[in-house]
Chains A and B, each alone.
Chain A
């Protein structure tokens, strides 16, 4: 276990700790999505997974792709909710 890098105020590249942390987010989100049975909880777990994916896209400099995904992902959630929405008030 290497000692964590000092917190510099001008670091740019994603270091090992960040890669590990966001990879944990992606894997945890995916596993939770598989495990849950309720559709709402599945959608929340998908939110974790997308949150973990975003920094990897940004790290490659694909900011336009990141913006597009940030806008498309909630829209797909909205459509899914329209299908599985329960109890019209």
Chain B
């Protein structure tokens, strides 16, 4: 029972770390500025019609239509879980290829993957399991894309205003 509780706690901490990592990198690479492709812009506008924020909607559309830092964080956790640091770097290469397939420059995804590799590896050194980071990343993306589009996009728009200054 105690072990289960510990693992749940690890997953929650991992979710928070993953959330901060991918949102910070997506904001740094200006994903909420505009829809990268036609489909991303359309998703952003549709979310705004429902009552959400426009720039948060653009960022959600970009996450949907090309592998960005969130995908990088997930695949880096998978890579570290399976093969340590080399696995994470292999995942970064795959994310870069995937970004190029999806008409994307690929900076956000690759950078997010590399930083996430070292973050996850650092947390495994202090006793976290990398599997907790995979589950944590799934929970983190659930909070952005899966609970309420309106509130998530408003939150992201507010963060984007802070970033733009």
| Any A–B CB pair closer than 8 Å | yes
Instruction: Verify B129–A7 contact, CB threshold 8 A.
Output: no
B132 surroundings in chain A (CB, below 8 A): 9
Q: Mark B8-33, 1 if CB is under 8 A from A, else 0.
A: 10000000000000000000000000
What distance in Å separates the Cβ of B98 from its nearest Cβ neighbour in chain A? 11
Taking residues whose C-beta sits less than 8 angstroms from the other chain, chain B's interface range is under 10
Instruction: Verify A9–B129 contact, CB threshold 8 A.
Output: yes
What distance in Å separates the Cβ of A12 from its nearest Cβ neighbour in chain B? 11
**A9 and B38 alpha carbons, distance in the complex (Å):** 41
Taking residues whose C-beta sits less than 8 angstroms from the other chain, chain A's interface range is under 10
B142 surroundings in chain A (CB, below 8 A): none
Interface SS of B by simple majority: helix
**A7 and B131 alpha carbons, distance in the complex (Å):** 11
Instruction: Verify B131–A6 contact, CB threshold 8 A.
Output: no
**A89 and B38 alpha carbons, distance in the complex (Å):** 11
B129 surroundings in chain A (CB, below 8 A): 9
B83 surroundings in chain A (CB, below 8 A): none
**A10 and B131 alpha carbons, distance in the complex (Å):** 8
What distance in Å separates the Cβ of A65 from its nearest Cβ neighbour in chain B? 18
Flag whether B3 is at the interface (Cβ < 8 A): yes
B3 surroundings in chain A (CB, below 8 A): 6
Look across to chain A and name the residue whose beta carbon is closest to the beta carbon of B101. Answer: A74
What distance in Å separates the Cβ of B141 from its nearest Cβ neighbour in chain A? 14
Residues of A bordering B, CB below 8 Å: 6-7, 9-10, 89
Residues of B bordering A, CB below 8 Å: 3-4, 7-8, 38, 129, 131-132
Task: Name 11 A/B residue pairs within 8 A (Cβ), A-sorted.
Answer: A6-B3, A6-B4, A7-B4, A7-B7, A7-B8, A9-B7, A9-B129, A9-B131, A9-B132, A10-B131, A89-B38
Please list the 3 inter-chain residue pairs (A to B) with the smallest Cβ-Cβ separation, ordered nearest first: A9-B129, A9-B131, A6-B4
